[in-house]
Chain A
Amino acid sequence: MWEYTDKTKDHFLNPRNVGVVENADGVGEVGSMACGDALKLTFKLDENQRIKEAKFQTFGCASAIASSSALTEMIIGLTIEEAEKVTNEQIAQFLGGLPKEKMHCSVMGRDALEKAIACYRGEAAKKIDGEVVCECFGITDLEIKRVVLENNLATIEEVTDYVKAGGGCGKCHEKIQTIIDDLTGLQKSEKKKAAPMTNIQKIKLIEETLRREVKPALEKDGGNIELVDVDGSRVLVTLRGTCATCSKSQITLKNYVEFKLRELVADDLVVEEV
């Protein structure tokens, strides 16, 4: 039996925003019955270009239904630009986490949202670019690369948990491994290249990383982060907004900011609050 959080169970047993929005501005459909899950997301904007209404229909297991319900709750009130930044990780976090084997449910939510936004913008639904790697579930190399990079996946099982690729006959396992190896090799060499940085370069990169990767996540919870100084490997920051008063701020700092900076800038960085 799966260990679902109470929030996941609640969104499964009492799903929010079920149905189809009439005269929707955006419609996104992903998955199929053959795959075991499918989601149709529809939304409508108000006069201020914010999502006024979002509804879903889902065929799938408890976590697929809960992820869809969570997604609608998360995007109502957002502008398209804001909604566009919602990641599968955030959907899972909204539910208090998902069993790892069920992460593909959150990826399905993100994919449906992306399609609905593309539909709103009148962009042709994104072609399935790339080459099909997993024939059982029709997953391409580009789709696999994306989840590997976005979620720091390291094994074939993880790729299967996130996009199902490799979960059928297993013939594509070698190809998936090659994709993972190529990408992790790439990341390593990128990091190595970044190693002999001047101080200015390092500060720039830290600033950039905080702006791109860290801030959006903190701002979602009403928090903010400012870079004060970089002293060797010490990164001095201030926290503003709810994060500063939140008892979990140490954990937020240590786990999240430091993790991101170590991953993307240099692995000896230490984050300190001033």
Chain B
Amino acid sequence: MKMKVIYTDNNATTQVDPAVLSEMLPYLEQYYGNPSSMHTFGGQVARKITEARAKTAALLGAKPEEILFTSCGTESDSTAIRAAIASNPDKRHIVTTRVEHPAVKNLCEQLAKGGYRITFVPVDRNGALDLDLLYKSLTNDTAIVSIMWANNETGVVFPIEEIAAEVRSRRIVFHTDAVQAVGKLPINLGKLDIDMLSLSGHKIHAPKGIGALYIRKGTKFAPFLIGGHQESGRRGGTENVASIIALGKACELAGANLHEENTRVKELRDRLENALLKKVHKAFVNGGTEKRLPNTTSIAFEYVEGEAILLMMNEFGICASSGSACTSGSLEPSHVLRAMGVPFTAAHGSIRFSLSIYNTQAEIDFIVEKLPPIIARLRELSPFWKSAVA
């Protein structure tokens, strides 16, 4: 029996849009030419890549030549940070935050072992950055500042426009991991002081395994993958043609859907959040709710453990994710929630719902109906619950 799936885990990955799929399929079937070839058969593919580059640039308010296609968001992040330190070989300091995705966090920890000094800027209980500390940490030795635009776990949005301007005024390279922001927030790089920006296709209804890095014209760059002349010599390797075409289409659609993300999807998110908080005691939202992605809510259910919640929701076909330790195989709850100072008792029971334009009100109401009894049931099992409410 196939169960209906209610998919509210769109910050993890998204459904490929049918229009995206039909755009890319011919390039896996009949048009298999190599875009670098001299013949028309390959050349027509190169033209499609040019088109995809223009569409990707358009979503960001950038110029087509500022877009580099990569294999994923992680590669974009690595490329950006490594390019900055390679082009500033005498600078040994990097500034980032305590709540970055592992794509940035683990790379910086690795670089720290190689002798780089890393400032991990802390956040407060709402997940907001300590901007004072951030600005004070900048020195002549700083090679790059890399700060995510929006947090994947809480949806909290950082004031990237302001930070970029401040960093630029000190002539330091500024990179932002915008993997979660693209398609959910309006972005106009032509007007901003951002040097590099990462995005990932599978978060915006393109397939997995395609990403892009925006590199502002004039930014010093060093390729990560050395090889052929592809991508104007900035990334060797024959292009992932079909996926690049898919990303272009997905960017076009993301621009068109931005309004819906910020109206209907946001209303669904608010409906879900408000109803759950009303029905379930001892539950709260992780992170400030004001400056937040329209599709994301992270709710802490105290005295229960996230994996147990997810597996019980799974019985109803509901897909979400958790900041709990148990789900990841690590033993400690999410570094993001811990950086915010969310108590362990609540961090273990945190569930993230991330919606998309495919969600319906009926689905949201279904979750609101099914989840509260699950929490109640798990609390009945918990040795702490009775004394907590006594």
Which residues of A come within 8 Å of B, CB atoms?
2, 9, 12-13, 15, 18, 29, 33-34, 36-40, 57-62, 64-65, 101, 136-137, 160, 164, 167-168
Is residue B383 within 8 Å, beta carbon to beta carbon, of the partner chain?
yes
Q: Among A59, A60, A62, find the residue whose CB has the most chain B CB atoms closer than 10 A.
A: A59
Known: A38-B383, A164-B331. A33 touches B303 (CB 8 A): yes
For the complex, would chain A's binding face be called helix, strand, loop or mixed by DSSP majority? mixed
Known interface pairs A15-B381, A38-B383, A59-B381; 13 further A-B residue pairs with C-beta atoms within 8 A, sorted by A's residue number: A12-B311, A33-B303, A34-B344, A36-B332, A36-B344, A40-B383, A57-B381, A60-B308, A61-B306, A62-B326, A65-B308, A137-B331, A167-B330
The minimal Cβ–Cβ distance linking B312 to chain A, given in whole angstroms, is: 7
Residues from chain A with a CB closer than 8 A to the CB of B304 are 59
Q: Number of B residues contacting the other chain (C-beta, 8 Å)?
A: 26
Residues from chain B with a CB closer than 8 A to the CB of A34 are 344-345
Residue pair B383, A136 in contact (C-beta under 8 Å): no
Which residues of B come within 8 Å of A, CB atoms?
303-308, 311-312, 315, 324-327, 329-333, 344-345, 348, 380-384
CB pairs A–B below 8 angstroms (8 shown): A2-B307, A9-B311, A29-B383, A33-B344, A58-B383, A136-B331, A160-B331, A164-B331
Residue pair B326, A61 in contact (C-beta under 8 Å): yes
Q: Among B308, B324, B384, find the residue whose CB has the most chain A CB atoms closer than 10 A.
A: B308
Task: Tell me the bound Cα distance from A33 to B378 in angstroms.
Answer: 14
The minimal Cβ–Cβ distance linking B325 to chain A, given in whole angstroms, is: 5
Residues from chain A with a CB closer than 8 A to the CB of B344 are 33-34, 36
Residues from chain B with a CB closer than 8 A to the CB of A36 are 305, 324-326, 331-333, 344, 348
Residue pair A18, B381 in contact (C-beta under 8 Å): yes
Task: Tell me the bound Cα distance from A120 to B381 in angstroms.
Answer: 23
The minimal Cβ–Cβ distance linking B259 to chain A, given in whole angstroms, is: 35
The minimal Cβ–Cβ distance linking B387 to chain A, given in whole angstroms, is: 11
* Closest residue of B by beta carbon distance from A39: B383
Q: Which of B331, B345, B380 contacts A18 (CB 8 A)?
A: B380
Residue pair A58, B348 in contact (C-beta under 8 Å): no
Residues from chain A with a CB closer than 8 A to the CB of B348 are 33, 36
Task: Tell me the bound Cα distance from A101 to B324 in angstroms.
Answer: 14
The minimal Cβ–Cβ distance linking A16 to chain B, given in whole angstroms, is: 12
Task: Tell me the bound Cα distance from A167 to B329 in angstroms.
Answer: 10
Q: Which of B307, B312, B331, B380 contacts A13 (CB 8 A)?
A: B312
The minimal Cβ–Cβ distance linking B144 to chain A, given in whole angstroms, is: 26
Residue pair B383, A62 in contact (C-beta under 8 Å): no
The minimal Cβ–Cβ distance linking A130 to chain B, given in whole angstroms, is: 20
The minimal Cβ–Cβ distance linking A191 to chain B, given in whole angstroms, is: 33
Residue pair A38, B384 in contact (C-beta under 8 Å): yes
Task: Tell me the bound Cα distance from A12 to B305 in angstroms.
Answer: 13
* Closest residue of B by beta carbon distance from A20: B383
Residue pair B331, A62 in contact (C-beta under 8 Å): no
Residue pair B384, A33 in contact (C-beta under 8 Å): yes
The minimal Cβ–Cβ distance linking B193 to chain A, given in whole angstroms, is: 36
Known: A33-B344, A36-B324, A36-B326. A167 touches B305 (CB 8 A): no
Known: A36-B325, A101-B329, A168-B331. A57 touches B382 (CB 8 A): yes
Residues from chain B with a CB closer than 8 A to the CB of A13 are 312, 315
Residues from chain B with a CB closer than 8 A to the CB of A39 are 383
Known: A60-B326, A168-B332. A33 touches B345 (CB 8 A): yes
**Nearest 3 A/B pairs, CB to CB:** A167-B331, A61-B326, A57-B383
The minimal Cβ–Cβ distance linking B363 to chain A, given in whole angstroms, is: 21
Task: Tell me the bound Cα distance from A33 to B326 in angstroms.
Answer: 13
Residue pair A62, B308 in contact (C-beta under 8 Å): yes
Task: Tell me the bound Cα distance from A166 to B10 in angstroms.
Answer: 32
Task: Tell me the bound Cα distance from A195 to B122 in angstroms.
Answer: 59
Residues from chain A with a CB closer than 8 A to the CB of B305 are 36-37, 59-61, 64
Q: Which of A18, A29, A58, A61 contacts B324 (CB 8 A)?
A: A61
Residues from chain B with a CB closer than 8 A to the CB of A65 are 308, 381
Task: Tell me the bound Cα distance from A164 to B326 in angstroms.
Answer: 11
Residues from chain B with a CB closer than 8 A to the CB of A58 are 381-383
Task: Tell me the bound Cα distance from A88 to B382 in angstroms.
Answer: 21
Known: A36-B331, A137-B331. A62 touches B311 (CB 8 A): yes
Task: Tell me the bound Cα distance from A60 to B333 in angstroms.
Answer: 12
Residues from chain A with a CB closer than 8 A to the CB of B324 are 36, 61
Residues from chain B with a CB closer than 8 A to the CB of A18 are 380-381
Task: Tell me the bound Cα distance from A6 to B336 in angstroms.
Answer: 33
The minimal Cβ–Cβ distance linking A113 to chain B, given in whole angstroms, is: 15
Q: Among B305, B325, B330, find the residue whose CB has the most chain A CB atoms closer than 10 A.
A: B305
Residues from chain A with a CB closer than 8 A to the CB of B311 are 9, 12, 62
The minimal Cβ–Cβ distance linking B300 to chain A, given in whole angstroms, is: 12
Residues from chain B with a CB closer than 8 A to the CB of A29 are 383
Residues from chain A with a CB closer than 8 A to the CB of B380 are 18
Task: Tell me the bound Cα distance from A9 to B311 in angstroms.
Answer: 9
Task: Tell me the bound Cα distance from A37 to B307 in angstroms.
Answer: 11
